[in-house]
Amino acid sequence: MTDAASTLANLAEGRLDARDLMARTLDRIEASDLNAVVSLRNRDDLITEAANPRPGPLSGLPMAVKDLVETAGLRTTYGHPAFADHVPATDGPTAAALRAAGAILIGKTNTPEFGLGSHTFNTVHGTTRNPWDRARSAGGSSGGAGAALAARILHLADGSDMMGSLRNPAAWNNVFGLRPTVGLLPQPAAGDPILHPLATDGPMARTPDDLELLLSVLAPDYRPEGPRAARIGWLGDWGGAYPLEDGIAALCEAALDGRADPLAPPFSAEALWESWTTLRSFAVWQKMKPLWSDAFAAQSKEALRWEVARGQAVTLDDLTRASAIRADWARRFAALPVDVVALPAAQCFPFPAEWVHPKEIAGQAMDSYHRWMEIVVPASLIGVPAVCVPVGFRDGLPMGVQLIGKRGRDSDLLHLARTLHETTRWADRAPPEV
């Protein structure tokens, strides 16, 4: 499969028929055992739609939208059994942007229940498998998107990132994922437009150029800028605060190829975790409050019940302290003597698909369902951009490095991702069965 930019050029210039592209895409989905694309629309309807695609930068390109994104007329389950038959009447901002750009929405990409946990499984659609090893997790919460890209089922995929959900599955599937600066993508009309949300939608792709293409569709205000020199600080395991499986740090450092200088931990990792878990649990509870009941809780997985219980217990003093920590970290990050900081995108390689989550990493016990992804918190907490770049493999399993930039400097990260990709070409490698 060619990259998205080449495929779109072939469609625009008549060298490729959108109906043929649609048929081949559906054939790949039907032949796949990954469970990456779910709620697939009727084949005849899709080929009919492909006969006269809407004009735009993605005209005629088949796309599946993450199952947390509302899609008009297309089942959206959030991975929760209470929504197994839910069909929204309107599109969310991401789906609306894709349709307006001419993409043809064929179905959804699988996600864990309400996006909680970096392992894509739920009771509605089941478990998504990693194309590099089907016995392993594809990551999450954009695991269906990452697996579909790696398996060459899709050219582009949207995702969302609260706690690494664009970065972890990108690392585990050997693709690129960008968590944009919070606010760059249009937000839903409801809710407080000023209060910093913890999550944002964003693009995933197999090349940095495709990543920027999709970003430009999802974020109309994005303006690419010319490359400029970036000073990179390597934070590794944050001075020992983040346990890493063997081989991860070495792969990341090798891919950086001397471009980064060691950087001392600039902030207390435990303070970041305290702030993050308080704000995250409170945000989850506020989102779930209109739905919550004993019956709904009984259908929900343990992670959601745990977050809701913690969120219900959050006090005003807790929120004030968490917000103060976040503000201190934002000021400290803005003042760092580097433009970009680099950390591994995950603390372990893809784990067995039957697990719920790892119980320990490098001999250190994990005390929650998400502690094993703590390394993504520094970017998520303050809403700065972060991109995952593939860095290679250990025993056939992929890994990535996350490059975290200053607020609004998404373009800098894409240029840096492009530079690393041109040097290593890890992302050109396809899974053995593709």
Q: Which helix (H) or strand (E) holds 173?
A: helix 168-173
The residues carrying an active-site annotation are 66, 141, 165
Query: How far is it, in rounded angstroms, from Cα 325 to Cα 278?
Result: 11
Torsion 69-72-76-81 (CA) sign? positive
**Can you read off the two tokens belonging to residue 285?**
């509870």
- The gap between the terminal CA atoms of the chain, to the nearest Å, is 10
**Can you read off the two tokens belonging to residue 278?**
């308080």
Amino acid (1-letter code) at residue 139: G
- Cβ pair 55, 99 in contact under 8 A: no
> Rounded to an integer, what is the distance from CA 292 to the centroid of its chain?
26
Closest to 306 (Cα-Cα) out of 125, 113, 123: 113
**Three-state secondary structure call for residue 136:** strand
**Can you read off the two tokens belonging to residue 255?**
């891919």
Q: Is the peptide bond before 380 cis (omega within 30 degrees of 0)?
A: no
> Residue 393: beta bridge partners?
398
Closest to 47 (Cα-Cα) out of 109, 4, 107, 106: 106
- Cβ pair 348, 364 in contact under 8 A: no
Query: How far is it, in rounded angstroms, from Cα 73 to Cα 271?
Result: 44
Query: How far is it, in rounded angstroms, from Cα 33 to Cα 27?
Result: 12
Half-sphere exposure of 3 (CA within 13 A, CB side): 18
Characterize 348-365 residue by residue with b for buried, 16 or more Cβ atoms within 10 angstroms of its Cβ, and e for exposed: bbbbebeeebbeebeeee
Residue that has been written with the tokens 């990954």 in this structure: 34
